[in-house]
Amino acid sequence: MDIMHPKAAIGTNAWGGRIYGGLIRGDYVEDEVIGQMIEESVKLDIPLFDLARDYGFGKAQKMMGRLGNKDTLISAKYTPFTHYRKGCVRKSLEKDLQDFGRSFVDIYWLHLPTDLKDHLEEIAELYKEGKIRYVGVSNFDLEECKRSKEILEAHGIPLYGVQNHYSIICREWETNGLLKWCRENNILFWGWAVLEEGLLVDPSSMRRSVMKSIYNGRVKKLSGLYDVMGQIATRRNVKIPMIAIAYCAAKGVVPVVGCRKPSRVRELSESVSLELTPEEIERLESAADASNVKIMGADIFRPFVLKERR
């Protein structure tokens, strides 16, 4: 797979132990099955996995190191929950590399725009040392992305991508210009939570979980969108959530979709190959807008961004 033109990325936030999988996600998947899924992802040319230190209660990265292989590509993150301290990124990345059993990560993202110049300067050092192949930013707004691009380019490093929340019902990055800016500057836009934590699936198939309980009240409001997704899915002979994934791919967004089973990777591969018509896209957007439902919003993590130190 060409990492500059990925079809999709596989999210790992749902990986982890029995308690995490059962309580938060509704079911638990054995490591052996996840290992089979990773093998399937390589066969289908979607070997790109998106990770962070806190995913799966901290277990996802160790699982990737244990179950991954030489053909899997790794996207990892540094999340600045505190202000910048010299060496903080290096220490975190070195722990990542130890978990992965590798000498470098393919993509490294600054996960929040806290003290972004200091953090990006240290990421640039690690890039020059060969520990990072590509650099991206996550949960940044347009002005923060522009600033990040300038900081990295001063070191001769291109901004690889922006990873933000995006789905049929969360399209703010289109209206505020960020998606257009990414296209104009050949910067990839990755969309996480394209299925809205399982809400953009067939409601009857939702498993009992904490996430389902949180979002259950919005299901009725989304009935119009479910109808449209269902009609298109029936016509295409695919499952409903595959339409939500195909929509993102049609908008030039790299969908980040959680997978734990081989069948899910096969569905993901088929989803990004679907070519929705302009009429289908318009129907989906009209139904989404009519629902007036917002789950997390584009700036859900903004409250965690610390103010710049003076």
Residue 29: CATH number of its domain: 3.20.20.100
Distance CA 183, CA 21 (A): 36
The number of folded domains in the chain is: 1
b/e map 77-101, b = 16+ CB within 10 Å: bbbbeeebeeebbbebbeebbebbe
pLDDT of 138 higher than 70: yes
Q: How confident is the model at residue 293 (pLDDT cuts 50, 70, 90)?
A: confident
Percent of the chain with pLDDT over 90: 78
Residue 310 lies in a domain: no
The rounded mean pLDDT for the chain is 92
Antiparallel, parallel or unpaired: β 48-50 and 9-11: parallel
Backbone angles phi and psi of 52, in degrees to 5: -155, 160
Instruction: Give the model's pLDDT for residue 186.
Output: 97
Q: What is the rounded average pLDDT of the residues 213-241?
A: 88
Beta strand ranges found along 166-266 (DSSP E): 188-192, 254-258
pLDDT of 229 higher than 80: yes
Instruction: Give the model's pLDDT for residue 154.
Output: 98
Residue 309 lies in a domain: no
Distance CA 10, CA 64 (A): 12
Residue 212 lies in a domain: yes
The answer to which of 51-60, 189-198, 292-301 has the lowest mean pLDDT is 292-301
Q: For 230-284, write each residue's pLDDT tens digit.
A: 999 999 999 999 999 999 999 999 999 999 999 999 999 999 999 999 999 999 9
How crowded is residue 64: how many other Cβ atoms within 10 Å of its Cβ?
25
Domain that holds residue 99: 9-304
Helices (H) and strands (E) in the chain, counts: 14, 8
The single residue listed with the structure tokens 């962070």 is 52
Instruction: Give the model's pLDDT for residue 150.
Output: 98
Q: How confident is the model at residue 206 (pLDDT cuts 50, 70, 90)?
A: low
The answer to which of 156-160, 204-208, 245-249, 286-290 has the lowest mean pLDDT is 204-208
Q: What is the rounded average pLDDT of the residues 174-190?
A: 97
Residue 1 lies in a domain: no
Q: What is the rounded average pLDDT of the residues 13-25?
A: 69
Instruction: Give the model's pLDDT for residue 121.
Output: 98
Residue 279 lies in a domain: yes
Q: How confident is the model at residue 310 (pLDDT cuts 50, 70, 90)?
A: low
Residue 245 lies in a domain: yes
Residue 35 lies in a domain: yes
pLDDT of 164 higher than 80: yes
Helix (H, G, I), strand (E, B) or coil at 11: strand
Distance of CA 163 to the CA centre of its chain: 6
